[in-house]
C-alpha cells in the first residue's frame, strides 16, 4: 500500500516539476527523442531492406537449384570460371533422373532483343529460350492465355509468352493473346501473358519474352550459354538432391576423379548468406550510431537531473524532515527522469517512423518499422532515463536533511 502511495505521489511531484521547468524539459526531451528517432529510422530502413530481399528470394523459390558455369558467389578466379566447358541441353534428362525428388528441369538461354508491335517498340528486352518445365521451376502463373507446351518445343513453334510489362506497353487496353509481335524483327504469336511478378534483385522480371528453346536456337544460334534450373519436391530434400546432382553432372561431363567441379550448383540460401554477411556489419555500425546518440541524450538527462537536485535541495530537506524515506526520494527522481525519457522516446518514435515512411515513399529503398521495434524504442528510451537518473536520484536521497534545510 505504501509503495503505491509513493508511486502516485512521486509521479505527481515529478509531473509538477516538469511543468514548472518547461524549457528545460523540452530541450531534454528533444535530446532523447533525436536518439530514438535516429535509431528507429536506421533500423526501419534495414528491416525494410531485409523484408524486401526475403520477398525477392521467395520468387526464386527455396526448393530450386540452378546449374551454370558461374557461381552466384564467386570466391575464385573469374577467368577459371569463364574457361569452363559450357553446359548443354543433353544434361536435362540425366538431371531429371538424378533423384526421385526432382520434379522439373528447364533450360534457360538469354539474349537481349528489340520487341515491337505495330508502332510500339521496346529495346533490350530479356528474351529467353526455355521449356514447359520452367513454369514449375519458377512458379509462373498465367494472367491470359497459356504457357509454352511440349508441342511448341517439338515443332519449334514461333510462339512466345510475354511478361506483364510487355503486355501493358505494347498492348494497352488490348488482349495480347493471338497477336503477332516482332522479336528481333521476326514474327511470333503471343500464346500467353504472365501474371505481374515485380522485380527480382533489381531486375524487372515483367520485361521478358519467353520462346521454346528450339525456336530460340533456330533464331539466335546454338552457341548461347545454357543455365539449367531444377525444382525439388520438398525444401528439406534440396541438399540430398544437390549431392546426387553433383555426381550426375561430374559423370556426364567426364570430370576426372580429384578434379574440381567444372560447374556451379547455385541455391537461393547462398544469396541469403551473402546478404547477411554484407549487411551484418552495416547493421551493427548503424545501430551503434543510434545507440551513441541515445547515450548522448542520456547524459543530457543526467546533467539536467543533477541541476534539478541542486535547485531543489531545500525542498528535499523539507520532505526528509517531514518523514519522507530515501526510497521515496529516489522513486520520485527516477520517475521524473523516466517520464522525460519516455516522452522523448515517444516523440522520437513518431518522427523515426515518419522518416522511414518518407524514405520508402520517395526513394527506391524499402523501409518498414515493425511494431515490436516501436515498443522497444519507447521502452528502451525509458530504461535509458532510469539508468541515467540513478546517480542524481541517489544523490538527492543521500542529502543530509539538516544541511539541505540550510541550503538557500
pLDDT tens across the length of the chain (408 residues): 455 545 555 556 556 666 666 666 677 777 777 777 777 777 777 777 777 776 666 666 668 888 988 887 777 677 777 888 888 899 999 999 888 999 999 999 999 999 999 889 999 899 999 999 998 888 788 999 999 999 999 999 999 999 999 999 999 989 999 999 999 999 999 999 999 887 776 678 889 999 999 999 999 988 888 999 998 888 888 889 989 999 999 998 888 888 888 888 888 777 777 777 777 777 777 777 777 777 777 777 777 777 777 766 777 777 767 666 777 777 777 777 777 777 777 787 777 777 777 777 776 666 666 677 677 767 777 777 777 777 777 777 776 666 666 655
Of the candidates 218, 237, 262, which is a domain's last residue? Answer: 262
Contacts of 350 (CB under 8 A, 6+ apart): none
Crossing angle of helices 326-362/268-311, nearest 10°? 140
User: Closest by alpha carbon to 164, among 143, 146, 140, 133?
Assistant: 143
**How many other C-beta atoms can be found within 10 angstroms of the C-beta atom of residue 304?**
22
Same domain, 277 and 257: no
Judge if 359 and 389 occupy the same domain.
yes
Q: Which of 43, 52, 62, 73 is nearest to 369 (CA)?
A: 43
Expressed as residue numbers, the domain containing 291 is 2-56+272-406
Residues 356 and 252 both lie in one domain: no
Structural domain total, the chain: 2
Residue 255 sits in the same domain as residue 331: no
Residues 181 and 211 in one domain: yes
Comparing C-alpha atoms, which of 282, 387, 281, 367 is closest to residue 49?
A: 367
Domain ends where: 220, 239, 262?
262
Nearest to 388 by CA among 299, 315, 318: 299
39 touches 290 (CB < 8 A) = yes
- Sequence-ordered list of residues with C-beta below 8 angstroms from that of 37, at least 6 positions apart, any chain: 347, 348, 349, 351, 352, 355
pLDDT at 1: 44
Let me know whether 306 and 367 are in one domain. Answer: yes
- Say whether both 184 and 100 belong to one domain: yes
With respect to residue 63, please indicate whether it lies within any of the assigned structural domains: no
Residues 221 and 182 in one domain: yes
The rounded distance, in Å, linking the Cα atoms of 187 and 168 is 19
Do residues 99 and 242 touch, judged by C-beta distance below 8 A?
Answer: no
Same domain, 240 and 94: yes
What is the reported pLDDT for 6?
Answer: 52
pLDDT at res. 201: 64
Residues 253 and 202 in one domain: yes
Q: Given this model, what pLDDT does residue 405 score?
A: 65
Do the domain assignments include residue 178?
yes
Does one domain contain both 100 and 151? Answer: yes
Amino acid at each position: 500500500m505504501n509503495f503505491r502511495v509513493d508511486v502516485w505521489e512521486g509521479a505527481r511531484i515529478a509531473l509538477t516539476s516538469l511543468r514548472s521547468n518547461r524549457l528545460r524539459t523540452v530541450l531534454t526531451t528533444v535530446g532523447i527523442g533525436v536518439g530514438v528517432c535516429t535509431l528507429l529510422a536506421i533500423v526501419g530502413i534495414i528491416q525494410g531492406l531485409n523484408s524486401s530481399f526475403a520477398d525477392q528470394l521467395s520468387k526464386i523459390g527455396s526448393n530450386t537449384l540452378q546449374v551454370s558455369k558461374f557461381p552466384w558467389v564467386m570466391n575464385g578466379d573469374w577467368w577459371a570460371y569463364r574457361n569452363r566447358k559450357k553446359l548443354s541441353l543433353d544434361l536435362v534428362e540425366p538431371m531429371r533422373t538424378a533423384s526421385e525428388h526432382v520434379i522439373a528441369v528447364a533450360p534457360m538461354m538469354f539474349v537481349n532483343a528489340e520487341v515491337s508491335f505495330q508502332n510500339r517498340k521496346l529495346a533490350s528486352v530479356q528474351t529467353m529460350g526455355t521449356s514447359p518445365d520452367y513454369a514449375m521451376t519458377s512458379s509462373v502463373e498465367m494472367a491470359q492465355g497459356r504457357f509454352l507446351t511440349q508441342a511448341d518445343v517439338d515443332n519449334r513453334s514461333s510462339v512466345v509468352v510475354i511478361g506483364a510489362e510487355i503486355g501493358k506497353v505494347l498492348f494497352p487496353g488490348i488482349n495480347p493473346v493471338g497477336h503477332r509481335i516482332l522479336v528481333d524483327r521476326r514474327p511470333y504469336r503471343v500464346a500467353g501473358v504472365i501474371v505481374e511478378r515485380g522485380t527480382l534483385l533489381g531486375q524487372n522480371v515483367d520485361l521478358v519474352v519467353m520462346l521454346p528453346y528450339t525456336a530460340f536456337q533456330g533464331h539466335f544460334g546454338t552457341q548461347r550459354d545454357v543455365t539449367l534450373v531444377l525444382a525439388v519436391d520438398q525444401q528439406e530434400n534440396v541438399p540430398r538432391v544437390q549431392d546426387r546432382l553433383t555426381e550426375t553432372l561430374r559423370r556426364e561431363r567426364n570430370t576426372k576423379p580429384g578434379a574440381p567441379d567444372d560447374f556451379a550448383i547455385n541455391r537461393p540460401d547462398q544469396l541469403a548468406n551473402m546478404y547477411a554477411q554484407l549487411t551484418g556489419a552495416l547493421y551493427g555500425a548503424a545501430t551503434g550510431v543510434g545507440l551513441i546518440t541515445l547515450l548522448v541524450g542520456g547524459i543530457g538527462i543526467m546533467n539536467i537531473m543533477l541541476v534539478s537536485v541542486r535547485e531543489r535541495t531545500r525542498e528535499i530537506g523539507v520532505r526528509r524532515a517531514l518523514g519522507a524515506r530515501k526510497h521515496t526520494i529516489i522513486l520520485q527522481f527516477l520517475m521524473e527522469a523516466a517520464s522525460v525519457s519516455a516522452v522523448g522516446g515517444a516523440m522520437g518514435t513518431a518522427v523515426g517512423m515518419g522518416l522511414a515512411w518518407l524514405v520508402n515513399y520517395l526513394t527506391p529503398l524499402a523501409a518498414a518499422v515493425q511494431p515490436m521495434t516501436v515498443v522497444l524504442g519507447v521502452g528502451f528510451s525509458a530504461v535509458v532515463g532510469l539508468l541515467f537518473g540513478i546517480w542524481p536520484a541517489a544523490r538527492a536521497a543521500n542529502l543530509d536533511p539538516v544541511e539541505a534545510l540550510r541550503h538557500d
